[in-house]
Amino acid sequence: MIKTIGRNDLCHCNSGKKYKKCCGANHSSKLMMEEQNKVLQGLLQEFFENHPRSSEQKELLKWKDQVENILVPLYGEDKANGIIGDIFFFSERVDVWNSFIELKILKEARTQIKQILNSWINPLFMAGEVLSISNYCAQVRDLLSEEIMEIEVNESFSVEVGNIVTGFYLPDVRVGNQFLMVLNSLTVAVDVNDGSISKLKEMYESSELSTVPDFYKYNILAVYQILSSGLLGAEQVSSTVLEKVEELENFLIEHDLKSDELIEVFFHYLEPLAEIPKEAIAGAIQFAIDHQLVQLNWNLEKTAHSFSVNTENLTRFKDELGSFYHVAIRNKDDDEEKEAVYAFEVGTDPKGNELQNWQLYMYLKNATITSENELKRQMEYYHGKSYEPKTKSENAQLLAYAAYTSINRTEDLEKIQQLDPKNTDALLLEAEVEIVLTRKEQLLGQAIASGKECFEPEMDVAWLYVPNRPYLRALFLLGNFYWEQARFEEAFPIYYEVLSLNPGDHQGARYLATSTLIALGRLEEAQSLISHYEEELSDNAFYAWFKWSIERQKGILSQTAQTLYEEAIDQNPYVKKYAEKWNAALPYPKSVVITPRSPEEAKLIWTFLAPTLEGR
């Protein structure tokens, strides 16, 4: 017979206390904590299932593009991706995480859950040494602050005394002020040498940052690099593999080629090899040529001759790499969606979606819309629909958009101007082919005057109102007209006006304005403009090279200039050959799509940079 225990009965553990105040209380607390853990895990899952949102995707891709070459070789692809995501949402864009948590706090009625969530604002980063382990709890001492915290350990996250654990943590105030929950991207290093820990401490002590959290925030990648030795569960990559990958990348840079796909497959193919054949680089290049990963007009014999290797061995490596590539591609297609590639559009022409936006505007400009939902329905209905012009001026604008994408851009110019003699884009197209500079300048002035008549300065974001764009385009082109002739004193006020009218700068006028200021020797103003527009995760290559040019004007042989030069090369190494050889710069493009750290980006950087170096 089973005897039930009442809440007021003596506890069966013989403590002498009532059950409700002894084991009963512990049991209730355990059940409550388990229920709360489910809620908290659900919140974490909800966040990562819904982020990055589309508005954050571009920025995350930029961030990943910059750091994955550092982290993947050290931690492996899966762990590196976790680290990249955590750094992005818990440090670089912690405002996204904080906003999510703050919203949950507002909606949460349970007091203890609210307390926990309040402690989750600005997650803690720590690199710490495990001091002791007992009862599924490890004491961890921060390597820099020497503060001792406690973390939960279990079968899925096991550590040993002496291990170094690095990553982000979320406080758990239910257990205590020093208790931390671990996240999946936490790394465990089994055998970090004393030299690495000393180096980290020296970096902190010599930094000008007053707090450990600030040091971690601004040196987080360096922390992961320094503490990457002795990783638990991460494959170590030999220095030979990394050297070969670097050698391949240097060949691509030297020949103005780029292929992230080639670098990735080459790296993963070499990882398990006991010995890397001397034909590896040649074989990889020929593989890339055969698979059209790079545009290089070399045949097998020329590739073999260039690298002084045997064609038979080259072919063998190329074919083996190809087989590995096809299996990897097949598995990738099965396992995940193809990763998006970040690219940006540059040039003086209308952006690729401007015609579509103009047509949508024409449909909606006279519509009576009473709610946001109705606007959304209308936009979805008309999205992608071709608009039939109702007036001569509308027909002229439609033809002007078509002209920008035609081989002969002025073929219909006379027709457009007959329909609307004051069409801004028609005047710009006419100026484009005019070879007499005084007449060209006059046409650009006429385009500006015409465009200004339709310009609506009261719009919150001038660029988003499509009829404003021809005027902004005309101003931008006049600035470029002066800039290309080194008439910088005249160019800058035009660029300044463009930036004043449209501070978001959807056209890229800030780069030409910066180039102009440096060329004029107005270095403090140039630095101020960079500081205003520079974002930590974007435009790094452009601004890095500008900063070098600014410092170079102060002192060609200065140590600071050399440091900035090396940092700029790291952001886009393809620019180096232009800076060394002083190649002629290309004109600012009409329309081009560019990816970061590419030869195409380098050409544009040099277009901006060359005028700042002339005569110096």
Going by their DSSP bridges, the two strands 124-134 and 148-152 should be labelled as unpaired
> Of 63-77, 80-94, 189-203, 373-387, which one has max mean pLDDT?
80-94
332 pLDDT band, cuts 50/70/90, is low
Note the pLDDT of residue 232.
Answer: 46
Backbone φ and ψ for 162, nearest 5 degrees, come out as 100, -15
Prior bond of 52 cis (ω within 30°): yes
385 pLDDT more than 60 = yes
Residues 163 and 134 sit within 8 Å (Cβ to Cβ): no
The residues facing 170 across adjacent strands are 181
Note the pLDDT of residue 187.
Answer: 85
Of 318, 333, 348, the domain-final residue: 333
Q: State how many domains the chain has.
A: 2
Residues 281 and 317 sit within 8 Å (Cβ to Cβ): no
Q: How many residues are given for the chain? A: 616
In terms of domains, do 244 and 222 share one?
no
The answer to which of 160-174, 223-237, 495-509 has the lowest mean pLDDT is 223-237
Q: Is residue 28 part of a domain?
A: no
Q: How far apart are the first and last CA of the chain?
A: 99
Backbone φ and ψ for 10, nearest 5 degrees, come out as -65, 140
609 pLDDT more than 70 = yes
Neighbours of 568 (CB within 10 A): 25
Note the pLDDT of residue 616.
Answer: 55
Of 272, 300, 333, the domain-final residue: 333
At 150 the three-state DSSP class reads strand
42 pLDDT more than 60 = yes
Helix (H) or strand (E) holding 138: strand 137-142
Of 299, 333, 367, the domain-final residue: 333
Q: Is residue 538 part of a domain?
A: no
In terms of domains, do 245 and 220 share one?
no
Report d(CA 606, CA 576) in Å as an integer.
10
Residue 57: both structure tokens together: 């995707």
288 pLDDT band, cuts 50/70/90, is very high
In terms of domains, do 261 and 145 share one?
no
Report d(CA 140, CA 150) in Å as an integer.
6
Report d(CA 498, CA 72) in Å as an integer.
41
Burial class of 168 by CB neighbour count within 10 A (0 to 12, 13 to 18, 19+):
buried
In terms of domains, do 213 and 260 share one?
no
Q: Is residue 460 part of a domain?
A: no
Query: What is the extent of the structural domain holding 106?
Result: 51-228
Note the pLDDT of residue 13.
Answer: 44
In terms of domains, do 167 and 61 share one?
yes
Which CATH number does the domain housing residue 208 bear? 2.30.30.140
At 148 the three-state DSSP class reads strand
The whole-number average pLDDT for the span 431-449 is: 97
In terms of domains, do 160 and 64 share one?
yes
CA count, 13 A, side-chain hemisphere, 616: 20
2 pLDDT band, cuts 50/70/90, is very low
Going by their DSSP bridges, the two strands 344-346 and 179-182 should be labelled as unpaired
The whole-number average pLDDT for the span 446-459 is: 95
At 423 the three-state DSSP class reads coil
376 pLDDT more than 90 = no
Among 578, 574, 579, CA closest to 562: 579
Q: Is residue 44 part of a domain?
A: no
- Per DSSP, 542 falls in state H
69 pLDDT more than 70 = yes
In terms of domains, do 130 and 218 share one?
yes
Note the pLDDT of residue 341.
Answer: 56
In terms of domains, do 316 and 261 share one?
yes
Q: Is residue 146 part of a domain?
A: yes
468 pLDDT more than 60 = yes
Residue 284: both structure tokens together: 């990889």
Neighbours of 392 (CB within 10 A): 12
Burial class of 487 by CB neighbour count within 10 A (0 to 12, 13 to 18, 19+):
middle
Question: Residue 122 carries which side chain, given as an amino acid letter?
Answer: N
Among 298, 271, 265, CA closest to 284: 265
In terms of domains, do 293 and 151 share one?
no
Q: Is residue 406 part of a domain?
A: no
96 pLDDT more than 80 = yes
4-18: pLDDT as tens digits:
334 445 544 444 554
In terms of domains, do 132 and 244 share one?
no
Q: Is residue 340 part of a domain?
A: no
Note the pLDDT of residue 337.
Answer: 45
Mean pLDDT of all residues belonging to the chain: 86
Q: Is residue 105 part of a domain?
A: yes
In terms of domains, do 178 and 295 share one?
no
Q: pTM, whole model, 2 decimals?
A: 0.64
At 132 the three-state DSSP class reads strand
177 pLDDT more than 70 = yes
Question: Residue 105 carries which side chain, given as an amino acid letter?
Answer: I
In terms of domains, do 86 and 173 share one?
yes
Q: Where are the alpha helices (DSSP H) in 390-458?
A: 392-404, 413-419, 424-433, 437-454
22 pLDDT more than 70 = no
Percentage with pLDDT > 90 across the chain: 48
The whole-number average pLDDT for the span 478-505 is: 97
- Per-position DSSP letters for 277-325, written without gaps between them: -TTHHHHHHHHHHHTTSS-----HHHHHHHHT--HHHHHHHHHHHHHHH
